[in-house]
């Protein structure tokens, strides 16, 4: 065998990325039928172009001639960029407290580690915190890649059943906690459900983790994976968790909010109230180095520092959301009401045979040139995900295809 057994098993097994495969099939179908005849809802690649402020910042950074601008830097990133990310985190997490004030203490540059996207940030954090055999909890539905990121560093992802409305099932959390539990991942707004977990739900989670910590001496980290934080609807926002729980870490990126997924820029923000904050930050920095990322991309760090707080109009995602919910509703498909992101999580309609198999339904949709991702990949069989970050025209044109596909399915 030319490659490692574990990698071979993962890359060829059922856990291999179904979404990437769909994306590639979509490109193939477009060649055959033409762009406008294929309804490719497979991948969360934002279709909004970066706003003017981002383009301007890119030009300014490109025109900078300061000596050493392309050189190595401290592994954690440029200090002024980390300071800007600290300011951003303080705003999002509602923090203003001075050093030593505990929960509520504001971040400074020293609490930030720049990373290669949220994916790089997650890998650095897991490398930093996991001992072999440690467990990481995640409520379903969840981002497909978490399992790989956790096992990359000797950990085991343990999935938690959700309640009917896909909130976090606190009883399931309680049952799953044990002495090996290192962390729980919270992704809000959620990919694939578009759900924002409520303050009540999050407070209940904190209570359970604190009780567990008190009895075992190990307080699991809450890892807040927040690349979609800015894309929320109807004035809703994800809960600011730093003032509620000290052992919390944000991982995020500029992939979705600034439409820069290819530039691979993100960061880790550690709660200053965290018990071992300095060791944890240093471990994340060291992990970034030894994983071979070394540091986050130099030019885009500077771009982000210039425009992290620029205005971005996400109303077209809201229009797309309305358009897609109209299309699937009229086809008789049920879905989870999205509160953010650009994903719609739908139930597979059951047919006469009582068949709710999401793989079978996604394959059926392909016959109508509709590409979507099966829910099993997100830990939710019987569902499928529509990534509606595509043109409104594509969504409108897909309505008839959805209707026909469902009629033929049931
Ligand atoms: C929930 C979630 N976390 C992390 C990532 C990784 O983001 P990035 O491209 O910034 O690495 C994604 C990407 O789609 C995501 O949906």
pLDDT per position as a tens digit, 264-284: 999 999 999 999 999 999 999
Give residue 35's pLDDT band: very low, low, confident or very high (50, 70, 90). confident
pLDDT per position as a tens digit, 134-180: 999 999 999 999 999 999 999 999 999 999 999 999 999 999 999 99
pTM beyond 0.85: yes
The CB of 243 under 6 Å from ligand 1? The reply is no
CA–CA distance, 162 with 147 (Å, rounded to integer): 17
Residue in 116, 126, 191 to alter for ligand 1 test, most ligand atoms within 8 A of Cβ: 191
Q: What is the pLDDT of residue 13?
A: 80
Give residue 95's pLDDT band: very low, low, confident or very high (50, 70, 90). very high
CA–CA distance, 381 with 358 (Å, rounded to integer): 6
Q: Is the pLDDT of residue 183 over 70?
A: yes
Q: What is the pLDDT of residue 399?
A: 97
Nearest CA to ligand 1 atom 15: 143
- Percentage of the residues of the chain whose pLDDT score is greater than 90: 90
Find the 84 Cα to ligand 1 centroid distance in Å. Answer: 21
Which domains are delineated in the chain? 5-50+313-409 (3.90.1150.10), 72-307 (3.40.640.10)
Ligand 1 atom closest to the Cα of residue 119 is: 11
CA–CA distance, 178 with 367 (Å, rounded to integer): 46
CA–CA distance, 235 with 256 (Å, rounded to integer): 18
Q: Are 121 and 253 in contact (CB under 8 A)?
A: yes
pLDDT per position as a tens digit, 48-81: 999 999 999 999 999 999 999 999 999 999 999 9
Ligand 1 atom closest to the Cα of residue 265 is: 10
Ligand 1 atom closest to the Cα of residue 261 is: 9
Q: Are 126 and 152 in contact (CB under 8 A)?
A: yes
Q: Is the pLDDT of residue 17 over 70?
A: no
Q: Is the pLDDT of residue 342 over 90?
A: yes
Report helix angle 392-409 to 358-366, nearest 10.
120
Q: What is the pLDDT of residue 257?
A: 97
Q: What is the pLDDT of residue 176?
A: 98
Find the 118 Cα to ligand 1 centroid distance in Å. Answer: 5
Q: Is the pLDDT of residue 212 over 90?
A: yes
Q: What is the pLDDT of residue 360?
A: 95
Ligand 1 atom closest to the Cα of residue 122 is: 4
Q: Is the pLDDT of residue 118 over 90?
A: yes
Q: What is the pLDDT of residue 177?
A: 98
Q: Is the pLDDT of residue 387 over 90?
A: yes
The chain-wide mean pLDDT, for the chain, equals: 95
- Percentage of the residues of the chain whose pLDDT score is greater than 70: 99
Q: Give the position of tokens 């992939």.
A: 255
SS (H, E, C) the chain: CCCCHHHHHHHHCCCCCHHHHHHHHHHHHHHHHCHHHCEECCCCCCCCCCCHHHHHHHHHHHHCCCCCCCCCCCCCCCHHHHHHHHHHHHHHHCCCECCCCCCCECCCHHHEEEECHHHHHHHHHHHHHCCCCCEEEEECCCCCCHHHHHHCCCCEEEEECECCCCCECHHHHHHHCCCCEEEEEECCCCCCCCCCCCHHHHHHHHHHHHHHHHHHCCCCEEEEECCCCCCECCCCCCCCCCCCCCCEEEEEECCCCCCCHHHCCEEEEECCCCCCHHHHHHHHHHHHHHCCCCCCCHHHHHHHHHHCCCCCCCHHHHHHHHHHHHHHHHCCCCECCCCECCEEEEECCCCCCCCCCHHHHHHHHHCCCEECEEHHHHCCCCEEEEECCCCHHHHHHHHHHHHHHHHHHC
Q: Which of 9-23, 181-195, 217-231, 297-311 has the lowest mean pLDDT?
A: 9-23
Mean pLDDT of 233-253: 97
pLDDT per position as a tens digit, 353-382: 888 899 999 999 999 999 999 999 999 999
Residue in 142, 143, 150 to alter for ligand 1 test, most ligand atoms within 8 A of Cβ: 143
Q: What is the pLDDT of residue 31?
A: 85
């Amino acid at each position: 065998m030319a490659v490692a057994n574990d990698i071979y098993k993962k890359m060829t097994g059922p856990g291999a990325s179904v979404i990437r495969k769909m994306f590639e099939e979509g490109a193939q179908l477009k060649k055959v039928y033409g762009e406008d005849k294929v309804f490719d809802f497979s991948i969360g690649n934002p279709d909004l172009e970066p706003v003017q402020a981002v383009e301007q910042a890119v030009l300014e950074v490109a025109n900078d001639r300061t000596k050493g601008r392309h050189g190595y830097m401290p592994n954690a990133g440029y200090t002024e960029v980390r300071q800007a990310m600290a300011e951003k985190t303080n705003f999002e997490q509602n923090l203003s407290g001075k050093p030593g004030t505990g929960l509520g203490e504001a971040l400074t540059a020293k609490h930030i580690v720049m990373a290669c996207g949220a994916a790089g940030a997650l890998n650095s954090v897991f490398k930093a915190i996991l001992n072999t055999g440690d467990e990481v909890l995640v409520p379903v539905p969840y981002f497909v890649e978490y399992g790989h990121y956790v096992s990359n560093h000797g950990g085991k992802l343990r999935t938690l059943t959700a309640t009917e409305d896909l909130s976090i099932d606190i009883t399931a959390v309680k049952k799953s906690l044990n002495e090996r539990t290192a962390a729980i991942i919270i992704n809000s707004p959620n990919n694939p459900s578009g759900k924002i977990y409520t303050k009540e739900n999050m407070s209940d989670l904190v209570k359970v983790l604190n009780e567990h910590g008190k009895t075992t001496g190990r307080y699991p980290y809450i890892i807040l994976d927040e690349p979609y934080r800015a894309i929320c609807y109807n004035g809703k926002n994800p809960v600011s968790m730093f003032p509620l729980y000290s052992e919390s870490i944000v991982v995020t990126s500029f992939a979705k909010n600034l439409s820069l997924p290819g530039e691979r820029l993100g960061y880790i923000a550690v709660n200053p109230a965290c018990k071992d904050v300095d060791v944890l930050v240093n471990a994340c920095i060291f992990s970034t180095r030894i994983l071979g990322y070394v540091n986050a991309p130099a030019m885009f760090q500077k771009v982000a520092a210039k425009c992290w707080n620029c205005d971005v109009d996400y109303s077209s995602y809201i229009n797309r959301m309305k358009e897609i919910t109209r299309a699937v509703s009229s086809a008789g498909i049920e879905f989870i009401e999205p509160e953010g992101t650009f994903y719609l999580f739908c139930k597979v309609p059951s047919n006469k045979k009582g068949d709710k198999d999401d793989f079978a339904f996604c394959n059926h949709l392909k016959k109508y040139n509709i590409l979507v991702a099966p829910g099993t990949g997100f830990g939710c069989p019987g569902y499928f995900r529509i990534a509606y970050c595509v043109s409104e025209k594509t969504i409108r044109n897909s309505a008839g295809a959805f209707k026909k596909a469902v009629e033929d399915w049931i």
